[in-house]
Structure 1
Amino acid sequence: MNNKTKNLAERFIQYLNDENFDGAENCLDPEFKFKGVLGSRDNASVYIKDMKQMKFKYKILQAFIAGEDVCFWYQITMGEKTILASGWYEIKDEKIQSLQVLFDPRPLLNDQ
């Protein structure tokens, strides 16, 4: 287990939960890429700008590490809805290079 890698990804999540967006952005490579179910972003500052508006909250349930990569199984609270999701953090040179998030978007798209 690479604790340095895991700690970087966990620190990033904690910064987002604390709304410390400068700290969160410092964890990202400037050319950071995000791919999600509902869209993608190609730049650390663009991604952080969106996070400032959305103010998601994360609860990590489990972490999996392979080499420098970390995958979290977590609950993400988006406004009044909480979804179960998985996030794959690709890390290189002590910066998060990319993040891919998978989840079932139906609870966000329906009124159910």
Structure 2
Amino acid sequence: MDHKAKALVLRFIDQLNNEHFSGAQDCLHDGFVFEGVLGRREGAAVYIREMEQMKLKYQVLQSFEAGTDISLWYMINMGGKRIPASGWYHTDAGKIRSLKVVFDPRPLLDSGKE
């Protein structure tokens, strides 16, 4: 197992939670690709600009390692709603190269409903 990959991903989450966006971007490969339920983003700078606006907060519940791939199960505070989600982080050469996130988006889409 590549414990450096896990440390990198957890450092990335910590940087986002503390709104240290330049530090978070330092964890990403320039060609970083994000794929999520609501869309795809290409490029570390593009992704970080969006994170600066959203200011999501992550509570990591569990992590799983498979070589240079790290999967996290977490609660994400999105606009005051706590959403259970899973993120699959692929690392390469000491940087996060890609992230795939899955969650049920219905709480975000249902205005006023829980």
Aligned equivalents of 1:99, 1:30: Cα separation in 2: 13
Are residue 45 (structure 1) and residue 45 (structure 2) matched? Answer: yes
Normalising by structure 2, we get a TM-score of: 0.96
Are residue 78 (structure 1) and residue 73 (structure 2) matched? Answer: no
Letter in 1 for 2:83: I
Secondary structure, counterpart of 1:11 in structure 2:
helix
Normalising by structure 1, we get a TM-score of: 0.98
Secondary structure, counterpart of 1:19 in structure 2:
coil
Q: 1:6-28 deviations in whole A, cap 9, x for unaligned? A: 00000000000000000000000
Aligned equivalents of 1:48, 1:66: Cα separation in 2: 26
Letter in 2 for 1:108: L
Secondary structure, counterpart of 1:50 in structure 2:
helix
Aligned equivalents of 1:64, 1:105: Cα separation in 2: 23
Q: Which runs of 4+ in 1 moved over 2 A?
A: none
Residue in 2 aligned with 1:89?
89
Letter in 1 for 2:27: C
Residue in 2 aligned with 1:7?
7
Letter in 2 for 1:75: M
Residue in 2 aligned with 1:59?
59
Q: 1:11-67 deviations in whole A, cap 9, x for unaligned? A: 000000000000000000000000000011000000000000000000000000001
Give the Å deviation of 1:2: 2.2
Residue in 2 aligned with 1:21?
21
Q: Note the residue ranges of structure 2 that are not aligned, 5 or more in a row.
A: none
Q: Name the Cα RMSD after superposition.
A: 0.6
Q: Note the residue ranges of structure 1 that are not aligned, 5 or more in a row.
A: none
Letter in 2 for 1:69: D
Letter in 2 for 1:54: M
Residue in 1 aligned with 2:108?
108
Letter in 2 for 1:23: G
